[in-house]
Chain A
Amino acid sequence: MDDNATTSGGTALAVLVEEAARILGRPPGLLGPGQHLQHDLGFDSVMLLQLKGRLETRFPVLREVSLPDLLLGVHTLGALAGRLERTTGLPVA
């Protein structure tokens, strides 16, 4: 029933940073909550889809959440972690 319980380890921000780093092909240590997805990291729409796809494997509950519901109005990794926390119940940090 509780999908979140199936996600092992880490806070929302840690999981997000790990998945974003994987898509960018960069070490997670270079990513932080203040970074702007588009302006600092160069995320485009396909990368956002990819990120949502990766996050769905970590938080299956996200399959029920649309891309705009997850991303709209969210610009930084930190803000997205906050949105993830509210959607999945995981603590941000």
Chain B
Amino acid sequence: MRPLRNRGPADSWLPVRREVESSGTSVVYAAVADWLPDDLQRPGLAAALGRDHKRLLEMNHVPNRSRFVASRLLLKSAAAAVLGATPDELELAYKPGGRPHLRGVDQLDVSLSHTEELLVVGLTRHGRIGVDAENADRRMLGLGTERQVCTPYELEAVLAVPVERRNGELVRLWTLKEAYSKAIGQGLRFRFTEFGFTPEDRQVQMLRPDGTPGAGWEWSFHSWLVDDSYMVSAAVYDPGFGGRGPAAAARPLLPVVPDPRLSAR
């Protein structure tokens, strides 16, 4: 799996649909500018955002507002394409800890991340997904963060990395941890030093603080450098066909949300 680039509302969702159909999971990224409406006051935006519009009105930080709006439009458009629905049929809601989900849709799990000019959306049919992104050059090392982020094993492994790549390695570990904590709905509540990941030269695996293998086979973890500048990580939980059963495997992708046009009649 590689993240798929989307170039805005006019771009085709076919590659993403195909990937979700074949593997169950897709990670999509886009530029904020490609999804940001020219006018945040434009009629129709409140309807497109639904309950999120109230949150938008509480935001004064301009870059955050832009990422907030653009990420919703991207997420709904991608999910709608995969579900065979329209974006306005979908509503983004939040679990008590802040985990986003599509209300009434249990066929598709979603996750989102946004930083600087980048939007990332994770979609999976089978279990849970978490995605996270940071600028790969974002300074984290030496700011008092590594002690809060790394297990003892990871700290040692980070220090063993050549100095010019050390900060990037910390960013990679951090995005993996955030992706996992988002997949399980914990966000910043998670104790990041209680689990870790393999060093950069190995296939990504979860490790206990002492470096022994941690998570079960249902979990897979990925990190990619996209656009030569952002580190994007995903954590995917897939209980497999055993967990899904034949009925679930055959479940259609159509959402079970009521069509508002029908209830308006």
Contacts and interface: CB of A to CB of B under 8 A. Distances in A.
Given A52-B144, A67-B148, A42 B64 contact: yes
B145 interface: yes
Contacts of A42: 61, 63-64
A68 B188 contact: yes
Given A42-B63, A42-B64, A46-B134, A53 B191 contact: no
A56 B189 CA distance: 18
Contacts, number: 53
Given A46-B134, A53-B145, A40 B188 contact: no
A57 B61 contact: no
Contacts of B188: 45, 48, 67-68, 71-72
A71 B61 CA distance: 20
Contacts of B160: none
Nearest to B132: A45
Interface of A is mostly: helix
B149 A39 contact: no
A39 B58 contact: yes
A45 B145 contact: no
B22 interface: no
Interface residues of B, number: 21
Nearest to B138: A46
Contacts of B143: 49-50, 53-54
Interface string B137-164: 0101001110111000000000000000
A64 to B, nearest CB: 12
B174 A54 contact: no
B59 A46 contact: no
Contacts of B149: 49
Contacts of A49: 140, 143-145, 148-149
Contacts of A40: 60-61
Contacts of A66: 191
A46 B61 contact: no
A41 interface: yes
Contact of A46 (B145, B189, B191): B145
A52 B143 CA distance: 10
B115 interface: yes
A72 B147 CA distance: 20
Interface in A15-43: 36, 38-42
Contact of A39 (B59, B138, B148): B59
B178 interface: yes
Interface in A49-89: 49-50, 52-54, 56-57, 66-68, 71-72
B144 A57 contact: yes
Interface of B: 58-61, 63-64, 115, 134, 138, 140, 143-145, 147-149, 174, 178, 188-189, 191
26 contacts: A36-B60, A38-B61, A38-B64, A39-B59, A39-B60, A40-B60, A42-B61, A42-B63, A44-B115, A45-B188, A46-B140, A46-B145, A46-B174, A49-B140, A49-B143, A49-B149, A50-B143, A50-B145, A53-B144, A53-B147, A53-B148, A56-B144, A66-B191, A67-B148, A68-B189, A71-B188
Given A48-B188, A53-B143, 5 more contacts: A39-B58, A40-B61, A42-B64, A44-B115, A52-B144
